Chain A
Amino acid sequence: MRALVLTGIGIATLWLQLTVAPLMALFGYKPNLLLLSVVVMGLRGLEPWLFLYGVGAGLALDAFSHGVLGIYALSFFAISFLARLIGVSVYENSLLLGVAAVFGVSLAEGFVSVTLFQWLDEGVPWWRWMLTGVLPGALINALWSPLVFYAFGRLERWVRPSEA
């Protein structure tokens, strides 16, 4: 059942990423809804096997962004653990902390991705990508994260009404 719900969430988020995220773009930067779903689930401690969901979401992003297959999978794998760690040690259901955590984890994900890009292609200007791609992307993710927190809060109440 849990695996089914996770798969459903993954497919729905991918669908939103492909159809709605371009409409949510600000200054040309799209929010990464797949990343947001991984981070929010990690912070809320919803799934102990989050890394599997993260790898799946990363592979989907790799496939649909037509980049190097495995880069997002690896970076999402890493941040799923980071998000869970923050969720266990810092996060206390505070929206402000949540938004800050999304910003930080988005930066971390960007750091891993860009480093891997550079590792595979030496021509990649690391600092430029971090400043012009990762930083604005992390801000956009943080800006949209309250909506995702709200959506997952509702979803949690619906899936696990007794615990909510």
Chain B
Amino acid sequence: MLNLIKRNIYVLSATGVLLVLVVLLSLRWSQPGTARWLDESVQSVAYPFQAAFHRVKTGVVELFRGYIYLVNLKQENDRLLLQVQALQEELNHYVNSSIQFNLLREQLGFLEENPERKVFAEVIGESVDNFHHVLLINKGRMAGIRRNFPVVLREGVVGRVQSVTALQSVVELIVDRRHRFPVLIQRSRERMDLQGEGGNLRLLPQDRGIASGTGDGLRMHRIRMLADVEKGDRVITSGLAGIFPKGLLVGTVTNVGRERHELFQSAEIQPVVDFNKIEGVFVILRDPNDPDYPLFSGQ
């Protein structure tokens, strides 16, 4: 028996690993609660590494930029080099401070002008693959954040909290391919569902048509011909899905296409938030007694 196992150790190991993986994936169907607990445990372990790696990445970028910068300056004499470098550093410092100040002032204004209770969180990581469009933020359950809480910026909607651990949360961006939520065309009040398309958004008008994004923007298609959608229309959240409050800006329609031979019209949408430049976000906190408390947050 032992010899048999030894002879077939490779096949047995591979089969064992395969079985474990199949069971792991099957948990999603049979026991979603256990699967979520497993996800959050893994996230808790991965969190410090991801945060550290993110800082290293920022350091690498700065180092690279610094290197390029220095290579160009070496053609000048040493005295000027030092002087220019010092001045540039000083200027860079002031510019950075100024930009940060303006950004924080704008966000602070947003915080003050809006009565909803929010918590500010810094972005400390992002997804490593091309399928998921998520951000890792440095606030979690201890800050009052729960699953499905809306995440916003002054400019508009960012996403929703996908999962939470004690110290960090994962935010699923609205451009994530899995994300779908109802929206309104602000002018005409046409109601639609919006779905992430990985860098883009996809509009699914309820019983009216479908719109999807392209690589560098948003594209709506299969919108019914009678739907009143025009270039420049602002797309806002409808507040119907029980996650986002009503009226948050999502994006603007940049182009509407109507082909005579087709049954539907199409349009492109530009999200209002630049997802590549997000450094911090606001998570809107909800009281469990609040009628707008997001669905399934406690599960």
Residues on A lying within 8 angstroms of B by beta carbon are: 15, 17-23, 27-30, 32, 48-49, 51-52, 55, 61-74, 77, 113-114, 116-117, 120-121, 123-125, 128-129, 132-133, 136-137
| A contact face: mostly helix, strand, loop, or mixed | helix
Known: A22-B57, A55-B17, A66-B134. A120 touches B129 (CB 8 A): no
Contact indicator B128/A61 (Cβ below 8 Å)? yes
Per-position 1/0 for B10-49, Cβ under 8 A of A: 1001100110011011001100000100110011011001
Cβ-neighbour of A128 out of B25, B57, B128, B197 (below 8 A): B197
Query: What's the minimum C-beta distance from B47 to chain A, rounded to whole angstroms?
Result: 10
Classify chain B's interface size.
Answer: 35 or more
CA gap between A68 and B199 in the complex, in Å: 20
Q: Closest approach, in angstroms, between the C-beta of B210 and any C-beta of chain A?
A: 10
**Bound CA–CA A27/B216 (angstroms):** 9
- Kindly state whether residue B53 has any CB partner on chain A within 8 Å: yes
Write the chain B residue with the least CB distance to A68: B28
16 residue pairs of the A-B complex, CB under 8 angstroms, read A18-B128, A27-B215, A62-B42, A63-B46, A64-B46, A64-B128, A65-B129, A67-B127, A68-B25, A68-B39, A69-B38, A69-B42, A120-B29, A124-B178, A133-B177, A136-B130
In the assembled complex, the Cα of A28 lies from the Cα of B198 at a distance in Å of 10
Cβ of A17 and Cβ of B128 under 8 Å apart? yes
Q: Which of B136, B163, B177, B197 has the most CB of A within 10 A?
A: B177
Q: Is the C-beta of B61 less than 8 angstroms from some C-beta in chain A?
A: yes
Q: Give the Cβ gap from B34 to chain A, nearest Cβ, in Å.
A: 11
Q: Is the CB of A132 within 8 A of B198?
A: yes
Are A52 and B13 touching (Cβ within 8 A)? yes
> Complex Cα distance A123/B193, Å?
13
A106 to B139, CA, bound (A): 35
Contact of B43 among A19, A63, A113 (CB under 8 A): A63
Q: Could you tell me if B25 and A137 are in contact, using CB atoms closer than 8 angstroms?
A: no
Q: Residues of A contacting B163 with CB < 8 Å?
A: 66
List chain B residues, Cβ under 8 A from A114.
131
Report the minimum CB–CB distance from B63 to chain A (whole Å): 11
Given contacts A20-B60, A23-B60, A132-B215, contact A77 B132 (CB under 8 A): no
Instruction: Answer whether residue B56 sits at the interface, using C-beta atoms and an 8 A cutoff.
Output: yes
Residues on B with C-beta less than 8 A from A124 are 177-178
Contact present for B21 and A21 (CB under 8 Å): no
A133 touches B13 (CB 8 A): no
Among candidates A29, A64, A69, A123, residue contacting B127 with C-beta atoms closer than 8 Å: A64
If the complex has contacts A30-B129, A66-B134, are A74 and B21 also in contact, measured as CB distance less than 8 A?
Answer: yes
- A73 in contact with B61 (CB, 8 Å): no
Q: Known A124-B178, A133-B198; judge A65-B57 contact (CB<8 A).
A: no
Residue of B nearest to A28 (CB): B199
Give bound CA distance, A120 to B61, whole Å. Answer: 37
A31 to B7, CA, bound (A): 38
Q: CA A73 – CA B21 in complex, angstroms?
A: 7
Q: Mark B166-181, 1 if CB is under 8 A from A, else 0.
A: 0000100000011010
Find the B residue at minimum CB distance from A137.
B130
A19 touching B212, Cβ below 8 Å: no
